Amino acid sequence: MNNMMNKITVGIVVLLLTASIFVLFVARDEPARLPAEEANFAGRSVENGALIFEANCVGCHGVQGKGIPGVAPSINSPEFFTTRLQEVGYVGSLRSFIEGTVNAGRPVGSGEYSAKMATWGQEYGGPLRPDQIHDVASFILNWEATAVAGESTAAQPTPTPLASDASPIEIGTAVYTAQGCAGCHGEPGGAGLVGPNLGGIATRAGSTVPGLSAEEYIQQSIVQPNAYVVPECPNGPCAPNLMPATYGQTLAPAELDGLVQYLLTLE
Amino acid sequence: MGVINNVTQEIRKEGLFQWMLRQLDVLITRLTTGLNWNDLRSMARGDEPRRPNPRLTVHSESFFFHIKPSYYHQSVTKIGHTFRLGLLSTYFFLIELVTGIFLMIYYAPTPERAYGDMLNIISGVPFGQFVRDIHRLGAEAMVIVVFLHMVRTYLTGSYKKPRQFTWLTGVILLLATLFLSFSGYLLPWDQLAYWAVTIGGSMIDKAPPPVLGKTAQLILLGAPAIGAAGLLRFYLLHVLFVPLIVIFVFFIHYYKVVRVGISLPSLQEEIGQDTAKRVPADKRRYYLPDVFTDEMVFLGLITFILLALIIFGVYPGAPLEHHANPNKTPLHTEAPWYFLWIQGLLKLGDPTIMGVIVPTIVFGLLAIIPYIDFNPSRKAKDRPVAIALWMFSMAVLVVLTWMGTPYFMVESPPAEEVVQIMLPEEKDGPVRQTDWELLTVGEWDTTQDNSAASFDVQQLMVLFNDLIHEEHEKVVERHEAKVNDLRSIRNPTPEEQEELAKLLATDPGLPNGSGKMIIENWQEGLKKVTMRVFWTPEGDSEQTFEKTFYIHDDSNYDGQ
């Protein structure tokens, strides 16, 4: 029974060690760990938002959020981060402005941007959960530094390179995605949103305007969209000036050619 | 006035200091329900108790000590007999209770809040992740300890008469422990939780007859799929209902243990005898102070190990994956490890039989073991069948658990598998482990010279290339094994012939495989990484698999 004293001492020492010294270890690291975790989750939020943006938003706002004339405004511009809230008279934070807009959409098209923005939030019948809306706002807000400073290095990424021997059709497919054509015309074969869907365009293009071949007609429609406006759009008669007339300037010749070749495959 | 006069007289007689000491001693005696300061000292010294033994008073007067026997047979207090696994299970339950209440403060069980609350617990609550780690590791340890406790009881034959019912309540506690652990799985509302519980929920759905399965699932989840209602129900089961069952059944279990005593080592008893309750005076080991001290030292040691595992990072930490996403099934969904054996069973056949009926039979048999084992001897040499059955069951359990992992019978497309290893959906993986700054912007190709890239990226490309070839070989091997199997059939049916022809016509795996990793600057602190795998089967055009990731400078998936 004489070792009882020793046992108790050992037991108590072990308990004290575990209960206090170890916890002090944790306590020592907590002040550094908490902000690091906060930065970690803020970073992850931007990552998640980037994927959501890529899947849902590039169609109208462009791959780098620079907007598409006539379709959707730039959300990667100095104005967006500095004067936009004053312009619309919004008194909340920019994050709440973004989250609110993504959530409830823009049900009424306005002036320059006739296209309507869908209600993206689940609360409003859209597909995105609240945490996803938070993430996509984190991603958009992450443009602030470069947008305000007017830097172009980070804001203009190296475009995802295509295989060097990409065919014109492959280039055209990429242009269709990157320029956000689907934002108005929908995915080929699906339904058009603002403009007519382009599924089967190759078949009808040759006979739409007398005297123009299918290729010529498609090229003209991209570069001079007002030369001939088709009568029927998803939301009633098509209006002139709806489609941006700037693609002749912004697309490189190879891209324009590729886009035409790609559209010609949609039979 | 009389009281004050008495006190004054006492103080005059004894002196103030002596009187205060005596009052302190009275206080100590009351707090310890019968032991004064000298008794405590003599206990610590290891002296024999005075007569009448005040240490026994404690057992009759104190609530916490009255549920403990005042003495044990000295043979059962040796650590090697029971390993104190029952005590340990209870201790882990208490740890879970305390840490669980801490976590409940910061948690609300709704899909809108749950995940955000987890982020807050990790990044905004001091000691939050630490407590979460204890809670998680404690839960997994509890499953192991309860399991080992049953193994010990089985191997020593301690479930035999008169302890049959103790065993039965033990099986209920095992089930409750498993369900507690599993129901806690859903609460973080991340991908891991969502899909593990989806598997579990779909198993309940398969319980026969269909009307029962559907009803049971509806009652548990509140809806055909897991959502807000299911989360709330799992939460209430986890924090309230199942713990109440555990406490209730625990007291029955423990009352039985005390009532009939812990069975003596089988070699010290005649066959069919139970002498645990008849402890000769010279074999007694008193709870106070001997056993009590042993228990405290033991629990201190276990606490030490538990905390050391967490603090020194041996335990990687309670995981938190991405937010639960019903639209995105992970490449590999895995049940918690203690249910992998059921997942293994599920791969073998019909979910109703393998996922519901077989586990029910297993747990049913486990519960009635004491009532179907008529062998009166507890000695191992008299129980060859029982021991052999145990060994067999353990072997089956291990094999089924292995079969439950993605290594068995899960064939995902090899290109997807390669990208999953390089840049997993969850956890970090080689690309995320690379220093963000060193992810050189550019288009890197396994077939080209990548010397313009940083050394780290070059290493990644070497790994990428190796993985493509490894996965290719794995698939080719599997393919050849299948072909050989079909060829070895003597009289193949038309279907088998057709399958063989189809297999022979395909060029499996990633023939002429190569990979590209394209790294682009996307935003400040954000890079876009595109992983592409190319392969060209014979007589076919080039195939591609592509997946895009964004990597932020600050994000950290280490230890997740």
Q: Are residues B178 and B301 located together in one domain of the fold? A: yes
Can you tell me the mean pLDDT for A137-163? Answer: 70
**Is residue B51 located within the same domain as residue B93?**
no
Residue B87 is encoded by which pair of tokens?
Answer: 């005590």
Q: Does A1 touch chain B (CB under 8 A)?
A: yes
pLDDT on residue A165: 63
**CA–CA separation, B35 vs A193, rounded Å?**
85
- Judge whether B400 lies within some domain: no
pLDDT surpasses 60 at B374: yes
What is the pLDDT at residue B93?
Answer: 97
**B380: in domain:** no
Tokens of A253: 């010749």
B190: DSSP letter: B
Domain termination site, one of B331, B351, B380: B331
Q: What percent of chain B has pLDDT over 70?
A: 99
- B510/B475 Cα distance (integer angstroms): 8
Q: Is the pLDDT of residue B233 over 70?
A: yes
The residue with greater pLDDT, B464 or B503, is B464
Provide DSSP, chain A: -THHHHHHHHHHHHHHIIIIIHHHHHHHHHHHHHHHHHHHHHHHHHHHHHHHHHHHTHHHH-TTS--BTTTB--SSSHHHHHTHHHHHT--S-HHHHHHHHHHH-B-S-BTTB-SPBP--BGGGT-SB-HHHHHHHHHHHHTTHHHHHHT--TTTSPPP-PPPTT--HHHHHHHHHHHTTTHHHH-STTS--SSSPP-TTHHHHHHHHSTT--HHHHHHHHHH-TTSS--SEETTEEPPTT-S-S-HHHHS-HHHHHHHHHHHTT--
Q: What is the pLDDT of residue A1?
A: 46
Partner residue facing A1 (CB), from B46, B122, B523: B46
pLDDT band at A113 (very low <50, low <70, confident <90, very high): confident
Indicate the residue of B47, B123, B528 with minimum beta-carbon distance to A34: B123
Q: Considering only alpha carbons, which residue of chain B is nearest residue A145?
A: B524
Q: What is the pLDDT of residues A187-209, one digit of tens each?
A: 787 777 777 888 888 888 888 88
Peptide bond connecting B54 to the previous residue in cis, omega within 30 degrees of 0: no
Between A and B, how many residue pairs show a Cβ–Cβ distance under 8 A? 144
Architecture of the domain defined by A56-149: Orthogonal Bundle (1.10)
A158-167, B311-320, B465-474, range with the lowest pLDDT: A158-167
Q: Which long-range contacts (CB under 8 A, 24 or more apart) does B462-465 make?
A: B463/B422, B463/B430, B464/B418, B464/B422, B464/B515, B464/B517, B465/B514, B465/B515
B47 lies in the same domain as B92: no
Report whether pLDDT(B386) > 70.
yes
- Closest chain A CA to residue B327: A127
Please say which residue of B331, B358, B392 terminates a domain: B331
Within a domain: B245: yes
What does the pLDDT read at residue A207? Answer: 82
Average pLDDT estimate for B533-546:
88
Mutation target to probe the B interface, by most B beta carbons within 10 A, among A5, A16, A37 is: A37
Task: Tell me, yes or no, whether B8 and B103 share the same domain.
Answer: no
Give the pLDDT mean for B214-242: 92
Q: What residues contact A55, with CB distance under 8 A and at least 6 apart?
A: none
Q: Mean pLDDT throughout B14-34?
A: 92
The stretch A65-87 carries a mean pLDDT of: 87
Answer whether residue A236 shows pLDDT above 80: no
Mean local confidence (pLDDT), B480-509 = 87
A22 CB within 8 Å of a chain B CB: yes
- B408, part of any domain: no
Task: Give the residue from A116, A106, A127, A141 showing the smallest Cα distance to A55.
Answer: A127
Long-range contact pairs involving B207-214 (C-beta distance under 8 Å, separation at least 24)? B207/B352, B207/B356, B208/B352, B208/B356, B208/B357, B213/B356
Most confident of A216-225, A252-261, B39-48, B84-93: B84-93
pLDDT at B191: 93
Are residues B192 and B104 both part of a single domain? Answer: yes
Residues 410-439 of B with CB under 8 A from A: none
Distance, CA of B228 to CA of B452 (rounded, Å)? 51
pLDDT of residue A50: 95
**B278 lies in some domain:** yes
Give the confidence band of A155 by pLDDT, cuts at 50, 70, 90. very low
B295 and B252, same domain (yes or no): yes
User: What single-letter DSSP state applies at residue B287?
Assistant: I
- Whether residue B156 contacts residue B382, with contact meaning beta carbons closer than 8 Å, is answered with no
Task: Quote the tokens at residue B264.
Answer: 């003596």
Other beta carbons within 10 angstroms of residue B70's beta carbon come to 18
Residue of B124, B297, B524 lying closest to A154 (CB–CB)? B524
Q: How many CA atoms lie within 13 A of B236 on its CB side?
A: 10
**Are B51 and B79 found together in one domain?**
no
B338 in a structural domain: no
The pLDDT tens digits of the residues spanning B394-403 come to 999 999 999 9
H/E run at residue B124 = none
B70-82 tens-digit pLDDT? 999 999 988 889 9
**pLDDT the model gives residue B517:** 94
Is the pLDDT at B442 greater than 50, yes or no? Answer: yes
In a domain, B138, yes or no: yes
Region of residue B429 (phi > 0: left; psi between -120 and 50: alpha; otherwise: beta): left
- State pLDDT tens for residues B55-65: 999 999 998 89
User: Which of A2, A142, A158 lies closest to B526 in CB terms?
Assistant: A142
Give the domain-ending residue among B302, B331, B360.
B331
CB-CB: which of B119, B300, B322 is closest to A15?
B300
CATH number at residue B149: 1.20.810.10
What is the ipTM score, two decimals?
0.86
B153 and B278 part of one domain: yes
Based on the fold, state whether residues B87 and B27 are members of the same structural domain. no
**Neighbour order of strands in the sheet with B442-445:** B442-445, B514-523, B526-535, B543-552
Average of per-residue pLDDT across B279-295: 89
Q: What is the pLDDT of residues A23-53, one digit of tens each?
A: 888 899 899 999 999 999 999 999 999 999 9
Predicted local confidence at residue B557, as pLDDT: 86
CB atoms inside a 10 Å sphere around CB A51 = 17
A8-22, A71-85, B95-109, B371-385 — most confident range: B95-109
Instruction: Give the residue range(s) of CATH 1.10.760.10 domains in chain A.
Output: 168-263
Indicate whether B453 belongs to any domain.
yes
Better-scored residue on pLDDT, B233 or A222: B233
Closest CA of chain B from A163, distance in Å: 10
Shared domain check, B98 and B21? no
User: Chain-centre distance of CA B500, in angstroms?
Assistant: 43
d(CA A220, CA A234): 21
Buried b (16+ CB within 10 A) or exposed e, A132-159: bbbbbbbbbbbbbebbeeeeeebbebee
Does the distance separating the beta carbons of A40 and B550 come in below 8 Å? Answer: no
User: Is the domain of B320 the same as that of B431?
Assistant: no
User: A157 pLDDT exceeds 50?
Assistant: no
* Residue A64: CB atoms within 10 Å: 20
Interface of A with B in 158-177 (CB under 8 A): 158-161
Lowest mean pLDDT among A12-16, B75-79, B452-456, B521-525: A12-16
Nearest to B307 among A2, A3, A22 (CB): A22
Q: Are residues B263 and B133 in the same domain?
A: yes
Q: What is the dihedral of CA A57, A63, A65, A66, to 10 degrees?
A: -130
Q: Count the domains in chain B.
A: 3
Per-position DSSP letters for B335-360, written without gaps between them: --GGGHHHHHHHTTS-HIIIIIIHHH
Q: A128-132, A166-170, A260-264, B552-556: which range is least confident on average? A: A166-170
Burial A247-263 (b: 16+ CB within 10 A, else e): beeebeeebbbbbbbbb
A237 touches chain B (CB under 8 A): no
The fold of the A168-263 domain, in CATH, is Cytochrome Bc1 Complex; Chain D, domain 2 (1.10.760)
Amino acid at B301: L
Residues A252, A179: contact at Cβ < 8 Å? no
**Mean pLDDT over the full length of chain A:** 82
Q: Please state, for a pLDDT cut of 90, what percent of chain B lies above it.
A: 59
pLDDT of residue A156: 43
Q: Which domain holds residue B48?
A: 2-57
Chain mean pLDDT for chain B: 91
- Chain A residues near residue B303 by CB distance under 8 angstroms: 14-15, 18-19
Q: CA B146 to CA B148: how far, in whole Å?
A: 6
Contact A158 B520 (CB under 8 A): yes
Q: Which two tokens stand for residue B282?
A: 């010279």
Question: Chain B partners of A43 at a C-beta cutoff of 8 Å?
Answer: 525, 552-556
Structure-token match 């507690």, residue found: B180
CB contact under 8 A, A5 and B555: no
* Chain B residues close to A17, C-beta within 8 Å: 304
Q: Does B553 touch chain A (CB under 8 A)?
A: yes
Chain B residues in contact with A157 (beta carbon < 8 A): 520-522, 528
